Amino acid sequence: MRIARFTTGEDPQYGVVTGDLDEFGQPDEDAVVVALAGDPLYVGVKLLDTEHKLADVRLLAPVLPRSKVVGIGRNYAAHAAEMGNDVPTEPLMFLKPNTSVVGPGDPIFYPRQTQNLHFEGELAVVIGRICRDVPPEQATDVIHGYTIANDVTARDLQKGDVQFTRAKGFDSFCPLGPWIETDLDPQHFADGVRVQTHLNGDLKQDGSTADLIFDIPTLVSYVSSVMTLLPGDVILTGTPEGVGPMEVGDEVEVSIAGLGTLTNKVAQR
Protein backbone atom coordinates (compact mmCIF):
# COMPACT_ATOMS: atom_id res chain seq x y z
CA MET A 1 0.00 0.00 0.00
CA ARG A 2 1.32 3.42 -0.99
CA ILE A 3 0.27 6.09 1.51
CA ALA A 4 0.71 9.69 0.43
CA ARG A 5 0.14 13.05 2.02
CA PHE A 6 -1.32 15.56 -0.42
CA THR A 7 -3.26 18.75 -0.94
CA THR A 8 -5.76 19.94 -3.51
CA GLY A 9 -5.21 23.52 -2.40
CA GLU A 10 -6.87 23.12 0.98
CA ASP A 11 -5.73 21.42 4.19
CA PRO A 12 -3.31 18.49 3.78
CA GLN A 13 -4.84 15.02 3.65
CA TYR A 14 -3.61 11.45 3.61
CA GLY A 15 -4.54 9.01 0.90
CA VAL A 16 -3.80 5.67 -0.74
CA VAL A 17 -2.23 5.85 -4.19
CA THR A 18 -3.33 3.27 -6.74
CA GLY A 19 -1.76 2.43 -10.09
CA ASP A 20 1.37 0.74 -11.39
CA LEU A 21 4.85 2.28 -11.47
CA ASP A 22 6.83 2.35 -14.70
CA GLU A 23 10.54 1.55 -14.98
CA PHE A 24 11.36 5.11 -13.89
CA GLY A 25 9.26 4.88 -10.73
CA GLN A 26 6.46 7.05 -12.08
CA PRO A 27 2.77 6.05 -11.69
CA ASP A 28 0.62 5.47 -14.75
CA GLU A 29 -1.67 8.19 -16.07
CA ASP A 30 -4.75 6.54 -14.54
CA ALA A 31 -3.36 6.61 -10.98
CA VAL A 32 -5.65 8.02 -8.32
CA VAL A 33 -5.33 8.85 -4.64
CA VAL A 34 -8.19 7.74 -2.39
CA ALA A 35 -8.55 10.01 0.65
CA LEU A 36 -8.14 8.65 4.18
CA ALA A 37 -9.82 9.74 7.39
CA GLY A 38 -6.97 11.22 9.40
CA ASP A 39 -3.34 10.20 9.85
CA PRO A 40 -3.04 6.41 9.33
CA LEU A 41 -0.20 6.30 11.88
CA TYR A 42 -2.76 7.07 14.57
CA VAL A 43 -6.20 6.07 13.29
CA GLY A 44 -5.31 3.27 10.87
CA VAL A 45 -6.26 3.09 7.21
CA LYS A 46 -9.86 4.29 6.91
CA LEU A 47 -10.81 4.95 3.31
CA LEU A 48 -13.24 7.71 2.42
CA ASP A 49 -15.43 7.94 -0.68
CA THR A 50 -13.35 10.81 -2.08
CA GLU A 51 -10.70 10.22 -4.72
CA HIS A 52 -8.62 12.44 -6.97
CA LYS A 53 -6.49 11.86 -10.02
CA LEU A 54 -2.91 11.79 -8.83
CA ALA A 55 -1.99 14.30 -11.54
CA ASP A 56 -4.44 16.81 -10.01
CA VAL A 57 -2.99 16.88 -6.49
CA ARG A 58 0.22 18.23 -5.01
CA LEU A 59 2.16 15.60 -3.10
CA LEU A 60 3.65 16.67 0.23
CA ALA A 61 6.25 15.02 2.44
CA PRO A 62 4.52 11.72 3.26
CA VAL A 63 5.36 12.04 6.94
CA LEU A 64 6.15 14.98 9.21
CA PRO A 65 8.35 13.54 11.98
CA ARG A 66 7.03 14.88 15.27
CA SER A 67 10.36 14.45 16.98
CA LYS A 68 13.35 13.45 14.83
CA VAL A 69 15.07 12.19 11.74
CA VAL A 70 17.95 9.85 12.57
CA GLY A 71 20.68 9.65 9.96
CA ILE A 72 23.18 6.82 9.56
CA GLY A 73 26.57 7.72 8.14
CA ARG A 74 29.01 5.62 6.12
CA ASN A 75 26.67 2.63 5.82
CA TYR A 76 27.99 1.68 2.37
CA ALA A 77 31.67 0.70 2.24
CA ALA A 78 32.23 2.32 -1.16
CA HIS A 79 30.81 5.63 0.07
CA ALA A 80 32.99 5.54 3.18
CA ALA A 81 35.98 4.97 0.90
CA GLU A 82 35.14 7.83 -1.48
CA MET A 83 34.98 10.16 1.53
CA GLY A 84 38.35 8.88 2.78
CA ASN A 85 36.85 7.25 5.87
CA ASP A 86 37.05 3.82 7.43
CA VAL A 87 34.00 1.59 7.66
CA PRO A 88 32.46 2.09 11.13
CA THR A 89 32.37 -0.83 13.55
CA GLU A 90 28.88 0.16 14.72
CA PRO A 91 26.23 2.43 13.18
CA LEU A 92 27.29 6.08 13.02
CA MET A 93 24.25 8.11 14.08
CA PHE A 94 23.41 11.77 13.69
CA LEU A 95 20.20 13.80 13.92
CA LYS A 96 18.48 16.04 11.40
CA PRO A 97 15.79 18.37 12.76
CA ASN A 98 12.22 17.77 11.67
CA THR A 99 12.27 21.30 10.22
CA SER A 100 14.65 20.03 7.54
CA VAL A 101 11.87 17.91 5.99
CA VAL A 102 10.31 18.96 2.69
CA GLY A 103 8.29 17.07 0.10
CA PRO A 104 8.42 16.13 -3.59
CA GLY A 105 8.85 19.15 -5.83
CA ASP A 106 9.78 21.45 -2.97
CA PRO A 107 13.00 23.44 -3.38
CA ILE A 108 16.26 22.53 -1.70
CA PHE A 109 17.58 25.90 -0.56
CA TYR A 110 21.28 26.59 -1.04
CA PRO A 111 22.47 28.40 2.12
CA ARG A 112 24.95 31.25 1.95
CA GLN A 113 27.12 29.50 4.57
CA THR A 114 28.27 26.75 2.19
CA GLN A 115 30.10 26.53 -1.12
CA ASN A 116 29.80 22.74 -1.53
CA LEU A 117 26.25 21.36 -1.33
CA HIS A 118 25.90 17.62 -1.97
CA PHE A 119 23.07 15.19 -2.74
CA GLU A 120 22.84 11.83 -0.97
CA GLY A 121 20.07 9.53 -2.20
CA GLU A 122 18.87 7.08 0.47
CA LEU A 123 16.27 4.58 1.56
CA ALA A 124 14.30 5.84 4.57
CA VAL A 125 12.48 3.81 7.23
CA VAL A 126 9.34 5.27 8.84
CA ILE A 127 8.58 4.13 12.38
CA GLY A 128 4.98 3.13 13.10
CA ARG A 129 4.70 3.04 16.89
CA ILE A 130 6.47 4.08 20.06
CA CYS A 131 9.28 1.68 20.83
CA ARG A 132 12.53 1.23 22.72
CA ASP A 133 15.14 -1.55 22.88
CA VAL A 134 13.69 -3.36 19.86
CA PRO A 135 15.38 -6.73 19.14
CA PRO A 136 16.42 -7.02 15.48
CA GLU A 137 14.05 -9.91 14.92
CA GLN A 138 11.11 -7.70 15.98
CA ALA A 139 11.98 -4.70 13.80
CA THR A 140 9.14 -5.37 11.36
CA ASP A 141 6.67 -4.93 14.23
CA VAL A 142 7.57 -1.25 14.62
CA ILE A 143 8.13 -0.25 10.96
CA HIS A 144 5.26 1.60 9.30
CA GLY A 145 6.87 1.58 5.87
CA TYR A 146 9.57 2.93 3.58
CA THR A 147 10.11 6.05 1.51
CA ILE A 148 12.88 7.86 -0.37
CA ALA A 149 15.14 10.53 1.11
CA ASN A 150 17.82 12.95 0.00
CA ASP A 151 20.20 13.55 2.91
CA VAL A 152 21.36 16.96 1.66
CA THR A 153 24.77 17.86 3.10
CA ALA A 154 26.93 20.97 3.14
CA ARG A 155 30.17 19.05 2.69
CA ASP A 156 32.53 21.89 3.56
CA LEU A 157 30.66 22.59 6.80
CA GLN A 158 30.67 18.89 7.65
CA LYS A 159 34.44 18.77 7.33
CA GLY A 160 34.99 22.05 9.13
CA ASP A 161 32.63 21.42 12.03
CA VAL A 162 33.69 17.76 12.45
CA GLN A 163 30.20 16.87 13.72
CA PHE A 164 27.19 16.90 11.37
CA THR A 165 24.50 19.11 12.92
CA ARG A 166 24.93 22.29 10.88
CA ALA A 167 25.99 20.54 7.68
CA LYS A 168 22.86 18.41 7.54
CA GLY A 169 20.36 20.47 9.51
CA PHE A 170 19.37 23.44 7.36
CA ASP A 171 15.73 23.89 6.39
CA SER A 172 14.96 21.82 3.25
CA PHE A 173 17.91 19.44 3.78
CA CYS A 174 15.69 16.34 4.11
CA PRO A 175 13.39 15.86 1.11
CA LEU A 176 11.12 12.84 1.60
CA GLY A 177 8.65 11.14 -0.73
CA PRO A 178 6.82 10.63 -2.89
CA TRP A 179 4.84 8.29 -0.57
CA ILE A 180 5.28 5.55 2.03
CA GLU A 181 5.20 1.93 0.86
CA THR A 182 3.86 -0.22 3.72
CA ASP A 183 3.81 -3.70 2.17
CA LEU A 184 7.54 -4.47 2.24
CA ASP A 185 9.78 -6.01 4.87
CA PRO A 186 13.52 -5.66 5.56
CA GLN A 187 14.35 -8.87 3.68
CA HIS A 188 13.14 -7.21 0.48
CA PHE A 189 15.98 -4.70 0.82
CA ALA A 190 18.49 -7.25 2.12
CA ASP A 191 18.02 -9.12 -1.14
CA GLY A 192 19.06 -5.98 -3.00
CA VAL A 193 17.05 -3.02 -4.26
CA ARG A 194 18.53 -0.47 -6.64
CA VAL A 195 19.10 3.09 -5.36
CA GLN A 196 19.85 5.68 -8.06
CA THR A 197 20.39 9.42 -8.10
CA HIS A 198 20.27 11.53 -11.26
CA LEU A 199 21.49 15.13 -11.45
CA ASN A 200 19.96 17.01 -14.39
CA GLY A 201 19.27 13.64 -15.99
CA ASP A 202 22.80 12.26 -15.55
CA LEU A 203 23.21 9.14 -13.42
CA LYS A 204 25.44 9.87 -10.41
CA GLN A 205 24.63 7.16 -7.86
CA ASP A 206 23.76 3.56 -8.68
CA GLY A 207 23.87 1.31 -5.63
CA SER A 208 22.05 -1.59 -4.04
CA THR A 209 20.60 -1.99 -0.57
CA ALA A 210 22.25 -5.41 -0.52
CA ASP A 211 25.48 -3.50 0.17
CA LEU A 212 24.26 -1.92 3.43
CA ILE A 213 26.88 -2.57 6.12
CA PHE A 214 24.24 -2.55 8.85
CA ASP A 215 20.87 -3.86 7.68
CA ILE A 216 17.51 -2.36 8.57
CA PRO A 217 16.70 -4.58 11.59
CA THR A 218 20.14 -3.82 13.02
CA LEU A 219 19.63 -0.09 12.55
CA VAL A 220 16.18 -0.07 14.17
CA SER A 221 17.52 -2.08 17.09
CA TYR A 222 20.62 0.06 17.51
CA VAL A 223 18.84 3.41 17.33
CA SER A 224 16.07 2.28 19.69
CA SER A 225 18.68 1.11 22.20
CA VAL A 226 19.82 4.73 22.47
CA MET A 227 16.59 6.72 22.15
CA THR A 228 12.86 6.06 22.19
CA LEU A 229 11.40 6.08 18.70
CA LEU A 230 8.00 7.67 18.14
CA PRO A 231 5.40 7.18 15.40
CA GLY A 232 6.53 9.10 12.33
CA ASP A 233 10.21 9.16 13.24
CA VAL A 234 12.43 8.50 10.23
CA ILE A 235 15.70 6.56 9.99
CA LEU A 236 17.88 7.30 6.96
CA THR A 237 19.84 4.18 6.10
CA GLY A 238 22.89 5.70 4.38
CA THR A 239 23.90 6.57 0.85
CA PRO A 240 25.78 4.64 -1.86
CA GLU A 241 28.92 5.98 -3.50
CA GLY A 242 28.73 8.72 -6.09
CA VAL A 243 27.69 11.70 -4.00
CA GLY A 244 28.55 15.07 -5.45
CA PRO A 245 27.82 18.80 -5.66
CA MET A 246 24.60 20.52 -6.63
CA GLU A 247 24.20 24.08 -7.86
CA VAL A 248 21.29 26.50 -7.92
CA GLY A 249 18.97 25.48 -10.75
CA ASP A 250 19.94 21.80 -10.69
CA GLU A 251 17.29 19.08 -10.52
CA VAL A 252 17.94 16.00 -8.39
CA GLU A 253 15.99 12.74 -8.79
CA VAL A 254 16.39 9.91 -6.31
CA SER A 255 14.79 6.64 -7.41
CA ILE A 256 14.41 3.37 -5.52
CA ALA A 257 12.99 0.35 -7.28
CA GLY A 258 9.43 -0.25 -6.12
CA LEU A 259 9.20 3.02 -4.20
CA GLY A 260 9.14 5.60 -6.98
CA THR A 261 11.12 8.78 -7.61
CA LEU A 262 11.71 11.83 -5.42
CA THR A 263 12.43 15.00 -7.42
CA ASN A 264 13.60 18.38 -6.11
CA LYS A 265 15.28 21.45 -7.58
CA VAL A 266 17.97 23.54 -5.93
CA ALA A 267 17.11 27.19 -5.33
CA GLN A 268 18.89 30.15 -3.80
CA ARG A 269 17.98 30.63 -0.18
Q: Which domains does the chain have, with CATH numbers?
A: 2-60 (2.30.30), 69-268 (3.90.850.10)
- What average pLDDT does range 32-58 have in this prediction? 95
Check residue 28 and give its pLDDT.
83
Contact 114, 154 (CB under 8 A): yes
Task: Supply the pTM of this predicted model.
Answer: 0.97
Check residue 40 and give its pLDDT.
96
Check residue 226 and give its pLDDT.
98
Residue 24 has pLDDT above 70, yes or no: no
Sign of CA dihedral 190, 101, 183, 224: positive
- What are 65-77's pLDDT values in tens digits? 989 999 999 999 9
Check residue 25 and give its pLDDT.
66
Lowest mean pLDDT, pick from 19-28, 30-39, 99-108? 19-28
Classify strands 143-150 and 234-236 as parallel, antiparallel or unpaired: unpaired
